[in-house]
Amino acid sequence: EVQLVESGGGLVQAGGSLRLSCAASGFIFDDYVIGWFRQAPGQEREGVSCIDTSDASTGYADSVKGRFTISSDNAKNTVYLQMNGLKPEDTAVYYCAAALWLRGRIGSLIPRSEYDYWGQGTQVTVSS
């Protein structure tokens, strides 16, 4: 059974940091891109960052470049999203997702339609 379990969300003041984790199981981790998405109330779900776990190539949304860093620990089948310099507009439910990806390095976000599996989400709230 495929599982993606997010953790690490919470309440933080503007300018603070959080580290989200996405623990994956039930599939061959190295064959997948793991992505982070977020959805604020009344908004569309948007891509934040993604990583190809086979070669650690990454993609980021412009809104988080320079503030968020995605990384992967393949020994633990876990992807992390380090979020620094948080802003109130980063408030959302954050989801991780997995996309089977055998097409080589990525250099940007891959389309949401590519993702096969989704986690349940973790709430991030940034107060001003």
The predicted pLDDT at position 82 comes to: 98
The predicted pLDDT at position 103 comes to: 87
Please give the C-alpha separations between residue 5 and each of 10, 35, 64, 79, 101, in angstroms, as whole numbers: 15, 13, 22, 10, 20
The predicted pLDDT at position 52 comes to: 97
Instruction: State the 10-residue block means of pLDDT for the chain, 128 residues long.
Output: 97 98 96 97 97 97 98 98 98 98 90 97 97
Backbone angles phi, psi at 26, to 5 degrees: 90, 5
DSSP symbols for 51-80? EETTT--EEE-TTTTTTEEEEEETTTTEEE
The predicted pLDDT at position 77 comes to: 98
The predicted pLDDT at position 102 comes to: 87
